[in-house]
Structure 1
Amino acid sequence: MTEQLGVQTAEGVFDAIAAGPEDGRPVLFLHGFPEAAVAWEHQVAVLGRAGYRAVAFDQRGYSPGVRPERALEYGLESLVGDVLAVADSLGWSTFDLVGHDWGATVAWWTAYEHPDRLRTLTAVSAPHPRALADALQTDEDQHMRSAYLTEWRQSSTERRMLADNGAALRRMFEWQVPPSRVDDYLQRLAEPGALTAALNWYRGGRPGGRVEHVTVPTMYVWSTEDVAFGSTAAFDTAKWVSGPYRFEMLEDVSHWVPEQVPEVFTALLLEHLGS
């Protein structure tokens, strides 16, 4: 079982789910698009039972209490700042960080810019940002996989995604996420301004700097049927981690790793945290 939390920060209150003893080793989870903290419900509950203090929060735009209107307020500097603000509010000086999809991108940046705050990093699906940037330049397959990014920045995207009872959003999950969970995500995104806020992550502009080598102990989990991220960036991620590195490739699994194969991924995560 998980509990509901409200995490107070200077930006507002982030909604969160949590499990485990207050003095347990802290683990923070970052969800992707178009999901929410509940995507990590299985992992949070299992880690809580194992004695960790596991927390997953609805990130900027997904939490109604932190939903700025301007796209510029969704840049990576703000998103990384939210991670640290939540950790500070929870009283965590160091913690383990786990991210999927957009949450993994934020996690990579956090690990690079604030290695002193992280005990370990676990990134799921999204490769190291430099590996992805290089693949976009050199790999036609990755270039085609990422074509949606331009479309999603257009102002008509919200209307298209929510039309016909959110049919386009539902197709994104490839029937690999339980229908009741997808219904929950769509209900959240149908709230006034919610989908625009989520899409503002794509419209927030590029960061000023570049991510270089990550030094914290890192596990990267990639699945062979991921529609967004191909093998070139996945395999090249190793070049951008100078600390202890573990790469796990899941065969015949889609982009939605934490929800499609929750037991498999959670076992990998517990191994990584324990090592």
Structure 2
Amino acid sequence: MQTRHIATDGLVQRVLEAGPEDAPLVLLIHGFPELGISWRAQVAALAQADYRAAAPDMRGYGGTNKPERTEDHTILQLVGDMVDLVRALGHQTCVVVGHDWGAPVAWHCALMRPDVFTAVAGLSVPFQPRRAAGPPTPAMAAISKRLGRGELYMNQFQNPDAHRIFEADVAAGLRKGFYAYDGATPDGRQSTGFIAPGHDFLSEIPDDATLPPWMSEDHFAEYVKAFTASGFKGPIDWYRCLDLNWSLTAFLQGQKITQPSMFMVGERDPVRHYAGQHEAGLKDWLTDLRSQTVLPGAGHWLQQERPDEVNAALLSFLGSL
């Protein structure tokens, strides 16, 4: 397993990788607030099974370039980064796997470039088709109001200063985030994603939040060091582009994913409070859905919480191709 910097089209990406260079490529895309290192267990397992695995720090994160402009974090650019990374790694095709925010990127890689991304796996966040009725943030605000559950954090993240709550105390922000979405966190202390009036994403999480059982102090220190250096503006800019993404993807309206696919989610993943409704209709949009799994007791950080089960599922899926 090695880490190196790879120049792609207009971007330098830090990539964690292992496995034979000429073996089938599997690209692993992280979400918020993570890095390529969140896939270490999968990189090792895939390499041992004679795949080439690559896990980049995504645009705006870690050791990869961080564009200043918010509008330089759209889904088109994120997919483009992955297309060019495949080429830079010396391949023409790959299987793409995404977790959290990385899952929508992976789904869109499959939608936009089926010639490059020949199969797709999503963890935690199901495929969500584009809404013909209009952009997502007004719709999410209307749902929050109708439910009377407060404001969805993704709407709060539209604020141009939203990233500053994480930067005020990077270690505390990361610790609270990992704790609030972990499967071991008791009921009532997990986040629901909905923020009560007068609060923000972090103020609703208990101050005595601890690291999840799977997160060592040394591993946590890697995240703290990376986000202290890079800040959170780039990662939060992904959220600020939600409506812009909608306006840029009219050409995808109604399009289905026809490549082999799989989906896995933790039973206790808080994302299911606001994206879970899309799980029931996955087969309507993923026409070759080969597995859809709910891991009992698991939370959001699947590939780190439950690496053995995730590795087994990925290897089974890859073996079916």
Is 1:163 aligned with 2:168?
A: yes
Query: SS of the counterpart of 1:116?
Result: coil
Query: SS of the counterpart of 2:232?
Result: helix
User: Aligned to 1:189, which of 221, 227, 250?
Assistant: 227
Measure how far apart 1:238 and its partner are.
2.1
Aligned partners of 1:124 and 1:220 also within 8 Å: yes
Cα offsets for 1:226-267 (capped at 9, x unmatched): 112343222222221112432111111001000000111000
Any residues of structure 2 matched to 1:1-275 within 5 Å, and which?
Answer: 2-130=1-129, 147-174=152-179, 175-176=211-212, 177-180=214-217, 181-192=219-230, 194-204=231-241, 205-207=244-246, 208-210=248-250, 211=252, 212-230=255-273, 231-275=276-320
Measure how far apart 1:125 and its partner are.
0.6
Aligned partners of 1:62 and 1:197 also within 8 Å: yes
Residue 203 of structure 1 aligns with an amino acid whose one-letter code is R
Measure how far apart 1:188 and its partner are.
0.9
Measure how far apart 1:56 and its partner are.
0.6
CA distance in 1, matches of 2:71, 2:130: 25
CA distance in 1, matches of 2:278, 2:145: 10
Query: Which structure has more helix as a fraction of its residues?
Result: 1
CA distance in 2, matches of 1:259, 1:167: 20
Measure how far apart 1:52 and its partner are.
0.5
Measure how far apart 1:156 and its partner are.
2.9
CA distance in 1, matches of 2:263, 2:60: 26
Q: Which has the larger radius of gyration?
A: 2
Q: Which residue does the alignment assign to 2:201? A: none
Coordinate RMSD, CA, aligned: 2.5
Equivalent residues, number: 272
CA distance in 2, matches of 1:155, 1:96: 35
CA distance in 1, matches of 2:150, 2:94: 33
1:218/1:65 CA distance change after superposition, 3 Å: closer
1:165/1:199 CA distance change after superposition, 3 Å: closer
Aligned partners of 2:62 and 2:226 also within 8 Å: no
1:226/1:115 CA distance change after superposition, 3 Å: same
1:22/1:165 CA distance change after superposition, 3 Å: closer
1:171/1:269 CA distance change after superposition, 3 Å: same
Query: SS of the counterpart of 2:279?
Result: helix
CA distance in 1, matches of 2:150, 2:100: 14
CA distance in 1, matches of 2:173, 2:319: 39
* Residue ranges of structure 1 left out of the alignment (5+ in a row): none
Residue 225 of structure 2 aligns with an amino acid whose one-letter code is Q
Measure how far apart 1:136 and its partner are.
5.4
1:214/1:172 CA distance change after superposition, 3 Å: same
1:265/1:17 CA distance change after superposition, 3 Å: same
Aligned partners of 2:60 and 2:234 also within 8 Å: yes
1:42/1:74 CA distance change after superposition, 3 Å: same
Structure-1-length-normalised TM-score = 0.90
Moved over 4 A (4+): 135-146
Query: SS of the counterpart of 2:121?
Result: strand
Q: Percent identity?
A: 30
1:78/1:148 CA distance change after superposition, 3 Å: same
Structure-2-length-normalised TM-score = 0.78
